[in-house]
Structure 1
Amino acid sequence: MPSRRRFLQHSASLAALTALTPWLPAGAFAAGSLLQRQIPSSGELLPVIGLGTSRTHDVALNEAALAPLREVLRTLVNGGASLIDTAPSYGRAEAVCGALAAEDELRSKLFLATKVSSSGRAAGERQLAESFAALKTDILDLVQVHNLQDTATQLGLLRELKQQGRVRYIGITHYLDSAHERLLEVLRREPVDFVQFNYSIGERNAERELLPYCADKGIATLINRPFQRAALFDRVRGQALPDWAAVELDASSWAQLMLKYILAHPAVTAVIPATSNPRYMADNLLAGQGRLPDAAQRKRIAELFA
């Protein structure tokens, strides 16, 4: 993500991250400084910044490829976060996450989320068995029906696994504005713990119905595509971060400002930007502490990206 690299090199965030040498050593964040929100169906607290793995974690299982991803994971945990979101359709990402989570007894500190993207019960069972094996765990914290594929069948299977104690939470996902109405249709007839969808400064359709519905019905939300796969950085290319972002919102980078915009919506449980760079992971974590924008400040942020 070259555009983000340039922004970090020319922002106050670089000084903030340098102070977290090498990235986020254990204890770098003050106790309890990373914001947490409740999972409505249980009351369990979940840190608001997580890690997505689409594209970034589909790498070879060798030391050269795993080394930077190991630092990303350690930065996540040292920063007080826990959520990793992956999927069988992300190539080798599940196996990579499983291998890294097995190191240094990290599994107990993680909230592992994956997905099922199969048609038919038998195919779903096979895929889930492979996910348990790849992630090297007997219990998955969250399994989601990916992109609403054979939703009724797979949710039925996931409910059985939840009753058996092998899956703690279940949910559904999509990544396009055009699928939001379909997500709502499923939510209206199928009880789930989580729903994952796209939401960002540049894609605000979720504010109309999806986020209010989840708030009203007590459904946890995971937010994907917070940077629109780096497209939002292009909108502010060459622009300095406004001074008021740091003074009023404790934001020292454009990425933090984008994430704070999302987190300011009370129906958002956590946001899961993907990265393979530990510096970016640390920068993302900084968005989960300090002040969040109010309605007027969110409007000002949106105007910066218009």
Structure 2
Amino acid sequence: MEKVRFGQTDLEVSIVVLGTWVTGGWLWGGADDKESIKTIHRALELGFNFIDTAPVYGFGKSEKVIGQALKEWGNRGDIVIATKCGLEWDEKENVRRNSSPQRIQYEVDQSLKRLGVDCIDLYQVHWPDTQTPFEATMQALQKLQESGKIRYIGLSNFSKEQISACLQAGPVHSLQPPYNIFEREAEKELLPFCMENGIATLGYGGLCRGLLTGKFTGDEQFAKGDLRRFDPKFKPDRFKQYLKAVDALKKLAAKYDKTVAQFALRWAIQQPGLTTVIAGARTPRQVEDNAGVSDWRITEEDIRKVDEILEKHIKTPVGPQFMAPR
């Protein structure tokens, strides 16, 4: 797996990050813990050294499973762990934003315990909390740095203006925005801004909730609790548009003897301003497919063809806004 310097940090990370929302099972129709651990181990064997998670992924479950996988692996070595803070939930699984210093201090200790580590490499505010001054949030994160509980500070789902406000209060080492072939809002302001300010980026949703794997036919019935039941992209009319685009992308990927998923991840990596791309995996086989992103390039001509495919097939594009918590 190719490695890259992560912004202005001293971290050398794999260009594909193992995403673990599915590991927690919540909003993904459940998860098999043993299979998840096998998947994490296979990723490490293949050279993935960057794992992204969050407490809200299964309400602690994803972090616990990663902690168990690391324990069984036996040697953390250069494995980089990124998790998040700033969301809280109740017994009914209602999630809301809370980036108060008190919440952050509570969360970091819980995450360290679940992950079984002494220090978190990258600690990210999951969603901006406009009820808490950004300065207060940043000060709390800097205190965690000084205490040795975290190494670097990241933001997720923040706008350019919100990042700027945080920068006035302290260093921001990374941003995690949604980004894939179908969701490209970050290209307008966020990626250029991050390039200008030396902020590393992790584009999440690299396979767009599975759309870019090419596995869907359009007849799928998603189980109760699966977030794709609420995703506008998976509603009948739009679903057909996106699947036509995926079919065309498959033909483009075949030129490189690659799957459409591998092509989609490689496309993301080649975009200006993107440092790494996050791809989830439920099974070892899926992570093996995601590993096929290294050591090849898409031509500029075919990069342009991607834009032509989107313009031809997707008449009513829609972003990932439905995922934003209160």
Q: TM-score, normalised by structure 1?
A: 0.78
Matched residue type, 1:208:
K
In structure 2, the partner of 1:29 is none
Counterpart-to-counterpart distance in 2, 1:294 and 1:240: 16
One-letter code aligned to 2:192: P
CA–CA distance in structure 2, aligned partners of residues 268 and 251 of structure 1: 24
Residues 196-207 of structure 1: pairs in structure 2 closer than 5 A: 196-207=176-187
Distance 1:240 1:302 in 2: 11
Structure 1 residues 128-167: aligned runs within 5 Å: 128-149=108-129, 150=132, 151-167=134-150
TM-superposed CA distance for 1:164, in Å, is: 2.8
- Alpha carbons 1:264, 1:294 under 8 Å: kept: no
For residue 297 of structure 2, give the secondary structure of its aligned residue in structure 1. coil
Q: Which runs of 5+ in 2 are unaligned?
A: 87-97, 215-238, 314-326
Match of 2:262 among 256, 265, 270: 256
Structure 1 gaps of 5+ residues are 1-33
Structure 2 partner of 1:57: 24
- Map 1:157-306 → 2, pairs under 5 A: 157-174=140-157, 180-186=159-165, 189=168, 190-232=170-212, 233=214, 235-236=242-243, 239=247, 245-247=253-255, 250-287=256-293, 289-305=294-310, 306=313
Mapped partners of 2:192, 2:249: distance in 1:
30
Partners of 2:53 and 2:254 lie apart in 1 by 32
The structural deviation recorded for 1:241 is 5.9
Spell out the pairing of 1:53-132 with structure 2 (5 A cutoff).
53-58=20-25, 65-90=32-57, 91=59, 92-117=61-86, 118-132=98-112
Q: CA deviation at 1:126?
A: 1.0
In the TM superposition, 1:29-48 aligns within 5 A as: 34-48=1-15
What secondary structure, in the 3-state scheme, does the structure 2 residue paired with 1:147 have? coil
Mean alpha-carbon deviation: is it higher for 220-229 or for 181-190?
181-190
Match of 1:5 in 2: none
Do the aligned partners of residues 219 and 292 (structure 1) sit closer, same or farther apart at CA in structure 2, a change above 3 Å counting?
Answer: same
Q: Which stretch of the first structure deviates more once superposed, 295-304 or 229-238?
A: 229-238
Q: Return the letter of the residue paired with 1:77.
A: L
Q: 1:251 to 1:257 in 2, by over 3 A?
A: farther
Q: Give the TM-score normalised by the residue count of structure 2.
A: 0.73
Partner letter of residue 259 of structure 1? L
SS in 2 for 1:108: coil
Q: Percent identity?
A: 28
1:103-148 CA deviation, whole Å, 9 max, x = no partner? Answer: 1214334211111113422221111110110111111111001112
Structure 1 residues 198-219: Cα deviation after superposition (integer angstroms, max 9, x where no partner):
1111111111111111111111
CA distance in structure 2 between the aligned counterparts of 1:159 and 1:224, rounded to whole angstroms: 25
> CA separation of 1:168/1:56 partners in 2, compared to 1, >3 Å: closer, same or farther?
same
Question: How many angstroms does 1:75 deviate by?
Answer: 1.5
Please tell me whether the aligned partners of residues 37 and 65 of structure 2 are also in contact (alpha carbons under 8 angstroms).
no
**Deviation at 1:44?**
3.0
Q: Equivalents in 2 of 1:124, 1:243: separation in Å?
A: 46
Q: What is the RMSD computed on CA atoms of the aligned residues?
A: 2.4
SS in 1 for 2:175: strand
1:230-273 superposed Cα distances (whole Å, 9 cap, x missing partner): 234462468376565354xx451010111111000142111111
The residue number in structure 2 matching 1:6 is none
Conservation of the 8 A alpha-carbon contact between 1:236 and 1:304: no
